[in-house]
Structure 1
């Protein structure tokens, strides 16, 4: 069951032909439970998101970034989800990387805003980062009234297509989608394979 659903997720992701085009809807529209799609590793990442988030914040604060973290308010507070879905549309998205996976890396990096899009793909929604050298694409699954689940993959550089979800664990992405304010959302990506301990993507309508 998970294999079929994962292939469906890949079909949606493969629609991301260029950095400025959104992933097209695919057979993933028939998969409604993220648990049937997520790899065992991603299920564990989602389960452990909170202690990893807290550890990442502690590292960043210890390195002198406490004031920057405080300025972000609810965006970087682990328990700030207030419930509510993510409407379809174009967004300005901003990523913050927290903590480090190896010595010598910065424990706090806030990137400039980029363009992203949320659209409907059958019973699910798709998310796509449209610009930049690292572009996240994937699907959003309903989880409960407080948060949803994002499962996707990473497109790098000038690549024209996304790898199938589940084919390369280094490219797979899993995160929690939460509303944190009026017309403000975030995606928490715990334990990414590269650079940081937690990535937080802020979404505000474009």
Structure 2
């Protein structure tokens, strides 16, 4: 099957209407470009050279049609703004699978995790999900209070919303504007393959 045809089939497989984006999260999405620009300014001004190199790598490449998402991915969380200009965490294990409700992605190692779905909308592929810690998640995205961003217990469960972009067969990213906790803009860098032994055993709090 030609790549273009396979990509088109995959796009059609994305859910036409997964979990509706809550109005307060639509506002976060609308501010994505402005927040990314302002936090990048601080990251490039004050980040370490090694962290900046990883940030540049995460943002390289133009988004294309998603393809071959199923399976294991390495996921690295980058946080910008608020507490510190730039923090880069090690790779952890993530997994993508095609479910009855569409494509689902989840972070399966580390003390802070997330789970969510991908939905094709005008302007891109929207990720909606929840981030949580030990004991969570308290609910999925659809079960969150419709008019509150307060963490839900157990697991300090909070809403995540962003844009998923695949920039190659083995590389993708999720751009997350205005996270509820800790930062002003997050990037989840995704690289095809299993996480290293170090990442699986790491005690880093992410």
TM-score over 0.5 (shorter chain): yes
Q: Shift of residue 194 of structure 1?
A: 1.0
Q: How does 1:68-83 map to 2 (within 5 A)?
A: 68-76=51-59, 80-83=61-64
Please say if 1:147 is aligned against 2:124: yes
Q: 1:183 to 1:161 in 2, by over 3 A?
A: same
What's the C-alpha RMSD, in Å, of the aligned pairs? 2.5
The SS at the match of 1:68 is helix
Q: 1:197 to 1:161 in 2, by over 3 A?
A: closer
Q: 1:55 to 1:37 in 2, by over 3 A?
A: same
Separation in 2 of the partners of 1:172 and 1:163? 10
Q: 1:30 to 1:120 in 2, by over 3 A?
A: closer
Q: Show the counterpart of 2:180.
A: 193
Q: Shift of residue 169 of structure 1?
A: 2.0
What are structure 2's unaligned runs of at least 5 residues? 1-12, 151-157, 194-206
Q: Show the counterpart of 2:139.
A: 163
Q: Shift of residue 205 of structure 1?
A: 1.3
What are structure 1's unaligned runs of at least 5 residues? 1-28
Structure 1 stretches of 4+ moved >6 Å? none
Q: TM-score, normalised by structure 2?
A: 0.72
Q: Show the counterpart of 2:17.
A: 33
* Match 1:96 to one of 78, 96, 113: 78
Q: Is the deviation greater in 124-133 or in 60-69?
A: 60-69
Q: TM-score, normalised by structure 1?
A: 0.72
For each residue in 1:29-81, what CA deviation from the matched residue of structure 2 results, as whole angstroms up to 9, or x when unmatched? Answer: 996235x611001111111111101111111223244663245435236xx43
Please say if 1:62 is aligned against 2:45: yes
Separation in 2 of the partners of 1:185 and 1:64? 22
Q: 1:74 to 1:64 in 2, by over 3 A?
A: closer
Separation in 2 of the partners of 1:74 and 1:201? 12
Q: Show the counterpart of 1:203.
A: 190
Q: Is the 8 A contact 2:15 2:118 kept in 1?
A: no
